[in-house]
């Protein structure tokens, strides 16, 4: 189990997975409206980027809150519903944006114009059916005139009139009507009142105002309006200000493909941070035995190690492969002490755990100094949420001379690790690198991590001609003796005579015995009268 990467269980609450996107949608629409208001009031490109990222992080924070409360541990499901919520949020944002664009560039201008000014005064309006019939014929003829050719001389008028039709004939038809009687009735109203163009079109003629709700319910019209805005542009690169005047000054507004790219970048800033934030929370270790998320110790101790390959570009990959093979590899790296200067490259270890240190997961971050003047660093998570045991954690605390947490019942092997590091350093300095030593097993590992067969220990060598085994306690019966009990004789070593013959007074050589044959007692045999034939 030590060294395994945490995998979510893909469990969660149905209520939570439904409430999460709805809450993100509600909060996202409110933040989008505020974002558009601030962006319109302070049109600074850097501020707009920060605002977009802030809105995305706020939406992601709402999603993360629901993931935490309802214990949603399915990254795939959480990501799908987050993307759906963000699509709806951005669709609503565009509806709000286009509605505000209508208010600023169309409806405000219509409120400033008198409807009678469009026809040149009341004397130019028809009074009889014949005159109304002639107006109707003129409307049909003017359907071949483009808006730019007819209204191009009036600033912003072509954009304003585009709301009511695609050509001049359709514009006048929407204003006066499409029949003779309708034309006469509307002209009488125009003569008797001094209404603004907005009041006449949206109060008298009862045309639909293109507000946010109407645009949301008409996606085709919304997309058409977005394309029109893209063709015209609303701001220049130098001023970043929205106005009709930009298109008629020396600076042309940003439009076309470049504006599409700007909008795509804005969409990325509004969505990617939220997706990453919610997905990361759903992948965070969850302790199934405790039915709760893993906790982090705060303040987190600083566990930093020197880079063992500071001059190699592939060093990070080698360290990663070693850690994935055995997390104890980290304990063999040189720690960065508190009094040491922060190195340019180092590895930092953070962890999260269960309440009683039954489950511990570490994350290893590789940090590289990219800009020494501004002290800017690039960090990369090379290993995320790898499980380690209590012995690893206790030894990690011991290497940095921190007090091991009380609830952590692991064995602190920091002294052994430091001794091994010193031996390795001495061996490397002498030119004879020390072979890696296998860490000592503890606990259950010490029982089950043993070889299946152990060679028996060799017995010490016995003297020559001595028995290599213990003689039985009962005396050995002589060969060819009767089986009844003989007087007890003292036990002699194997291969020696069972009694000592007297020595010759004239010679030091032993007298030959008459009953000794290859260590067997033959003294009772009558060899002189035995027929060997």
Highest mean pLDDT range out of 102-111, 404-413, 426-435? Answer: 404-413
Left (φ > 0), alpha (ψ -120 to 50) or beta: where does 357 sit?
left
Q: How many CB atoms lie within 10 A of CB 83?
A: 15
pLDDT digits (tens, 9 = 90+) for 385-427: 999 999 999 999 999 999 999 999 899 999 999 888 888 878 8
**Tell me, what's the pLDDT at 383?**
96
Task: Give the tokens for residue 107.
Answer: 């409806």
> Are 308 and 319 a contacting pair, CB within 8 Å?
yes
More confident residue, 255 or 88: 88
More confident residue, 88 or 506: 88
Angstrom CA distances, 310 to 249, 315, 331, 347, 371, stand at: 57, 7, 18, 11, 17
Q: How many CB atoms lie within 10 A of CB 211?
A: 16
Confidence tier at 166 by pLDDT (50, 70, 90): confident
pLDDT digits (tens, 9 = 90+) for 232-253: 888 777 544 444 444 444 467 8
Three-state secondary structure of 342-396: CCCEEEEEEEEECCCCCCEEEEEEEEEEEECCCCEEEEEEEEEEEEECHHHHHHH
pLDDT of residue 297 exceeding 50, the answer is yes
């Amino acid at each position: 189990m030590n060294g395994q990467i945490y995998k979510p269980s893909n469990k969660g609450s149905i209520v939570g997975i439904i409430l999460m996107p709805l809450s993100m949608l509600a909060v996202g629409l409110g933040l989008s409206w505020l974002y558009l208001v601030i962006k319109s009031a302070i049109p600074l490109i850097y501020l707009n980027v920060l605002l977009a990222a802030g809105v995305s992080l706020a939406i992601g924070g709402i999603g993360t809150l629901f993931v935490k409360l309802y214990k949603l541990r399915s990254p795939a499901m959480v990501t799908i519903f987050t993307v759906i919520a963000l699509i709806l949020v951005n669709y609503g944002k565009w509806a709000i944006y286009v509605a505000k664009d209508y208010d600023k560039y169309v409806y405000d201008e219509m409120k400033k114009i008198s409807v009678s000014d469009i026809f040149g005064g009341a004397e130019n309006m028809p009074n009889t059916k014949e005159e109304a019939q002639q107006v109707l014929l003129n409307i049909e003829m003017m359907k071949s005139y483009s808006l730019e050719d007819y209204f191009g001389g009036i600033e912003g008028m072509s954009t304003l009139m585009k709301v009511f039709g695609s050509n001049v004939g359709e514009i006048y038809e929407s204003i006066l009507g499409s029949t003779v009687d309708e034309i006469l009735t509307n002209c009488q109203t125009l003569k008797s009142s001094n209404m603004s163009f907005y009041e006449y079109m949206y109060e008298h003629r009862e045309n639909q105002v293109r507000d946010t709700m109407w645009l949301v319910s008409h996606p085709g019209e919304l997309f058409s309006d977005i394309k029109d805005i893209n063709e015209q542009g609303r701001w220049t690169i130098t001023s970043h200000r929205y106005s009709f005047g930009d298109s008629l000054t020396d600076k042309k507004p940003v439009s076309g493909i470049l504006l599409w790219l700007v909008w795509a970048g804005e969409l990325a800033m509004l969505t990617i941070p939220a997706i990453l934030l919610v997905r990361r929370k759903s992948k965070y270790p969850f302790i199934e035995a405790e039915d709760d998320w893993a906790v982090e110790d705060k303040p987190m101790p600083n566990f930093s190690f020197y880079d063992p390959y500071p001059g190699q570009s592939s060093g990070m990959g080698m360290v990663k492969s070693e850690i994935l093979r055995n997390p104890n590899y980290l304990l063999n790296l040189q720690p960065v002490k508190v009094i040491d200067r922060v190195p340019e490259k180092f590895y930092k270890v953070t962890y999260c755990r269960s309440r009683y240190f039954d489950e511990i997961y570490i994350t290893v971050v590789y940090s590289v100094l990219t800009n020494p003047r501004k002290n800017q660093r690039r960090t990369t998570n090379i290993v995320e949420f790898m499980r380690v045991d209590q012995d690893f954690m206790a030894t990690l605390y011991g290497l940095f001379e921190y007090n091991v947490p009380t609830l952590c019942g692991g064995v602190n092997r920091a002294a052994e690790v430091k001794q091994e590091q010193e031996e390795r350093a001495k061996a490397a300095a002498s030119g004879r690198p020390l072979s890696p030593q296998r860490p000592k097993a503890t606990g259950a590992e010490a029982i089950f991590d043993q070889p299946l067969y152990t060679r028996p220990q060799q017995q010490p060598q016995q003297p020559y001609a001595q028995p290599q085994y213990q003689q039985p306690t009962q005396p050995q019966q002589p060969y060819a003796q009767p089986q009844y009990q003989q007087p007890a004789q003292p036990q002699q070593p194997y291969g020696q005579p069972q009694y000592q013959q007297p020595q010759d007074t004239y010679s030091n050589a032993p007298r030959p015995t008459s009953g000794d044959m290859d260590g067997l007692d033959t003294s009772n045999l009558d060899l002189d009268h035995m027929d060997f034939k």
